[in-house]
């Protein structure tokens, strides 16, 4: 087993220790879904469709986007990385033949396996309440394109969190930047409203930004809000952004190391 496989297993164990945190997060997710259900239910009263989509399709969109976050969303990786830097724990990685990005990606993958399991559990609890309101398309190509889109979403989310974590090389406190970015990512990622409900001119700009590939894009494929041609084109754009973000993460790491004084640890 490779060293990163070991990191994955260690990550799996350490994340299982925090299973209650994930359970609490699942509970919040359920409440958030209740808010979405009440708000959009009221918006749809008297309107059979909004933006060409039924209430069932919109609710399905929100359920899928929330579950997706459990599987591929970056939760507190930025904070963990910044703590490694602040506490000097990062020094041990500089002395060993370990790529810090690959190590952190292994731990992130392990964390998502655990949180994904809790996401499924939360879904199982929510399903009796929402089953009658869910409507998923059955086209096979949606799974074939949706799965790689989810993986690339994970890479983009992780790389962005990684870059923010590395800002600890420059700043003592990064939490403000993280929450600032979270607001932008949440909105432009389609977690507040489906992006296709934005005015067309705005949507045509937003769909080329990396944020829409952090949540909206795979969800739109899986829930039938996007056709085949647009999904293939989107997958190419997403792969481009994933590549850019990984390169950016490497560049920030190299620049950051130049400032690192290796105190503590």
For other proteins, the binding residue among 5, 14, 41, 204 (CB under 8 A) is 41
Shortest gap between Cβ of 121 and other proteins (angstroms)?
17
Q: Which is nearer to other proteins, 34 or 244 (CB)?
A: 34
Does the footprint of other proteins cover residue 125 (CB under 8 A)? Answer: no
Does the footprint of other proteins cover residue 187 (CB under 8 A)? Answer: yes
Nearest-5° Cα angle at 201, 206 to 62:
50
Q: How many whole angstroms separate alpha carbon 16 and alpha carbon 119? A: 14
With H, G, I as helix, E, B as strand and everything else as coil, classify residue 265. coil
Shortest gap between Cβ of 24 and other proteins (angstroms)?
5
Does the footprint of other proteins cover residue 51 (CB under 8 A)? Answer: yes
Does the footprint of other proteins cover residue 261 (CB under 8 A)? Answer: no
CA 254 to chain centre: 25
- Which token pair is 22? 């994930």
Burial of 95 (0-12, 13-18, 19+ CB in 10 A): exposed
Nearest to 80, CA basis, from 71, 89, 72? 89
Does the footprint of other proteins cover residue 45 (CB under 8 A)? Answer: yes
For other proteins, the binding residue among 1, 17, 42, 236 (CB under 8 A) is 42
With H, G, I as helix, E, B as strand and everything else as coil, classify residue 215. coil
Nearest to 246, CA basis, from 175, 178, 182, 151? 151
Q: Which is nearer to other proteins, 191 or 223 (CB)?
A: 191
For other proteins, the binding residue among 14, 173, 208, 228 (CB under 8 A) is 173
Does the footprint of other proteins cover residue 39 (CB under 8 A)? Answer: yes
Q: Cβ distance 206 to 212 under 8 Å?
A: yes
Q: Taking contact as CB under 8 A, which single stretch among the options 17-25, 84-92, 100-108, 109-117 is the one that binds other proteins?
A: 17-25
Q: Give contact residues for other proteins (rule: CB under 8 A).
A: 21, 24-25, 28, 31-32, 34-35, 38-47, 50-51, 173, 176-177, 179-180, 183-184, 186-187, 192-193, 197-199
């Amino acid at each position: 087993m490779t060293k990163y496989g070991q990191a994955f297993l260690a990550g799996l164990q350490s994340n299982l220790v925090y299973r209650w945190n994930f359970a609490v997060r699942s509970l919040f997710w359920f409440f958030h879904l209740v808010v979405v259900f009440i708000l959009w239910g009221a918006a749809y009263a008297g309107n059979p469709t909004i933006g060409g989509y039924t209430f069932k399709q919109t609710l399905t969109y929100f359920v899928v986007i929330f579950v997706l976050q459990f599987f591929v969303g970056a939760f507190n990786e930025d904070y963990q990385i910044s703590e490694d830097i602040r506490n000097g724990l990062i020094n041990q990685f500089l002395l060993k033949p370990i790529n810090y990005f690959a190590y952190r990606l292994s731990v992130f993958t392990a964390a998502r396996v655990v949180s994904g399991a809790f996401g499924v559990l939360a879904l199982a609890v929510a399903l009796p309440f929402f089953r009658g309101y869910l409507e998923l398309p059955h086209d096979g190509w949606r799974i074939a394109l949706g799965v790689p889109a989810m993986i690339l979403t994970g890479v983009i989310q992780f790389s962005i969190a990684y870059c923010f974590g590395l800002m600890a090389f420059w700043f003592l406190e990064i939490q403000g930047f993280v929450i600032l970015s979270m607001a932008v990512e949440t909105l432009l990622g389609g977690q507040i409203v489906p992006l296709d409900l934005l005015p067309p001119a705005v949507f045509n700009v937003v769909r080329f930004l990396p944020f829409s590939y952090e949540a909206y894009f795979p969800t739109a494929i899986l829930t039938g809000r996007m056709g085949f041609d647009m999904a293939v084109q989107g997958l190419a754009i997403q792969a481009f952004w994933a590549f850019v973000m990984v390169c950016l993460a490497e560049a920030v790491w190299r620049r950051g190391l130049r400032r690192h004084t290796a105190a503590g640890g």
